[in-house]
Amino acid sequence: MNILITGGLGFIGSHTAVALTEAGYKPIIIDNLNNSDIKVLDKIAEIIAFKPVFYQGDCLDKILMLRIFDEQKIDGVIHFAAYKAVGESVQLPLKYYQNNIQSLCILLEVMQEKGVNNLVFSSSCTVYGQPTSLPVDENAPSLPANSPYGNTKQICEEILRDFSAVNPFKTIALRYFNPIGAHPSSLIGELPLGIPNNLVPFITQTMVKIREKLLVFGDDYPTPDGTCIRDYIHVCDLAEAHVAALFYLQKHENTSLFDTFNIGTGNGNSVLEIIKTLEEIANQKIDYQVVSRRSGDITAVYAATEKASKILHWNAKRTLKQALTDAYNWQKTAPSPKGE
Ligand code: UD1
C-alpha cells in the first residue's frame, strides 16, 4: 500500500516513513524543504534500504498534488506539512492561516477528486489549552487557542469533522503531546531551524556547546518543583501511532469517520526532571538559569491514553530515558543548525 506523507522529511514525517516501511507500507514523500533538508531522504534510505519516491514541492500546489495522485497509486495520506513555530505564528498570523489551512483544503479536494479516502492528520494537545483535570482525555473541550498556530490545529480538526460528515471519507486527528528523541541509529532526528523553541533540542544543543545555557521559563508554577509539566513521547512511538491509525482507518467498516486520539505516554515530567535525566545520561552538568515564565505556557498537561490503547491498539513503549538518550546521541552527530 502506497502512503503519501506530506512533510515527510520533517522530524515526525521522517520517522513515520521508517515506521510505515517496517509495517509493510510504501512511503511516498512530498516536502517543500522549507524546514527540512534533502539529505534526510538519503538517511531514511539508509535505514529502510531503499529510497522512497520523493516530490519536492508544496501542498498548496494543486497541480503538483494532482500529478502525484496520477503518477502513484495512493491508498492513504498522512498530512504533516505545516508551519509550527508558535511565536512566529503570533507575528505572522496570515502565513499560518494561509499555509496550514489552505494546504489541508487543497489536499482534501485532491483526495476527493482522486477517490482516496483515508487521512491521518497531525494535530496537537495544544487544542486543550490548560485542561481542568489531568490526565486530559479526548472529550475535554477545546479551549480558545492562544496562538494562530494552535488555532490552525483546531480549525483543521473542524474542517475534517465537517468534511467527513458529508463525504465517504475516513480521517483521524492525532493529538500529539511533546515529541522528542530520534531514531536509535542517530541517522535521523530533530533539526530545528535556528534557535530551538522546544525544550529538549535546546538542552541537547547546550550540552554540545551550540548554546551557552538553557533558560528555564519559570519555577513558580503550582507543580512539585515549580517548573511546567509535559508528556514527552519518543518520536518513534509517535511514528508507530500513525501506522496504527492508518491500519484502523483501512479496516474500519463505515465509509465515513472522524475521530481524535491523544498520542502521549500518560506520564508528566517537569522541566527540571528532563534536565536531571539528561545530566545523568551524559554524566555532565547542564548550565541553566531560571528566568520568568514564557507567555502562553500552561502549567501542566499529560495524556489520558486509554482511547488510543483500546481502539488503535497502540501504546507508547519507549521510556523517557530512552527518548532522551536517543536525542542526545543524535545531537552529538547532527548537522549544525541552519537559519541563524
Ligand atoms: C510547544 C508549543 C505547542 C506545540 C509544541 C510542539 C508553546 C507555548 N507551545 O509546546 O503549541 O504544539 O511546542 O512541539 O510554544 N522550556 C524552557 N526553556 C526553553 C524551552 C522550553 O524552560 O528554552 C519549557 C517551557 O516553558 C515548557 C517546557 O519547557 O514548560 C516544554 O516547552 P516546549 O518544548 O516548547 O513545548 P510546549 O510549550 O509544551
Q: How do residues 160-195 score in pLDDT, each as one tens digit? A: 999 999 999 999 999 999 999 999 999 999 999 889
Atom of ligand 1 nearest to the CA of 297: 8
Question: What are the backbone angles phi and psi of residue 4, rounded to the nearest 5°?
Answer: -80, 125
pTM: 0.97
> What is the 74 CA–ligand 1 centroid distance (Å)?
35
pLDDT of residue 337: 82
Asked if residue 217 has its Cβ within 6 Å of ligand 1, the reply is yes
- Domain borders along the chain are 2-333
pLDDT at position 277 over 90: yes
Instruction: Please tell me which residue in 55, 83, 128, 149 is annotated as part of the active site.
Output: 149
Reported confidence tier of residue 130, pLDDT bands at 50, 70, 90: confident
Question: For the domain 2-333, what is the CATH code?
Answer: 3.40.50.720
Reported confidence tier of residue 340, pLDDT bands at 50, 70, 90: low
| CA 3 to chain centroid | 17
Nine-digit cell string for 218: 519559570
- Alpha-carbon distances of 50 from 25, 53, 275, 316, rounded to whole Å: 13, 9, 37, 27
> What is the 105 CA–ligand 1 centroid distance (Å)?
28
Q: How do residues 43-56 score in pLDDT, each as one tens digit? A: 999 999 999 999 99
pLDDT of residue 304: 98
Reported confidence tier of residue 237, pLDDT bands at 50, 70, 90: very high
Q: For the packed helices 11-22 and 235-251, what is the interaxial angle rounded to 10 degrees?
A: 60
Asked if residue 266 has its Cβ within 6 Å of ligand 1, the reply is no
pLDDT at position 129 over 70: yes
pLDDT at position 227 over 80: yes
Protein residue closest via CA to atom 30 of ligand 1 = 228
pLDDT of residue 254: 87
Question: How many Cα atoms within 13 Å fall on the side-chain side of residue 11?
Answer: 24
> What is the 296 CA–ligand 1 centroid distance (Å)?
9
Atom of ligand 1 nearest to the CA of 227: 30
Reported confidence tier of residue 19, pLDDT bands at 50, 70, 90: very high
Contact 27, 137 (CB under 8 A): no
Protein residue closest via CA to atom 17 of ligand 1 = 216
Cα–Cα dist 89/81, whole Å = 15
State yes or no: is 149 an active-site residue: yes
Sequence-distant (6+) residues with CB within 8 A of 234 are 179, 180, 181, 316, 318, 322, 323, 326
Asked if residue 199 has its Cβ within 6 Å of ligand 1, the reply is yes
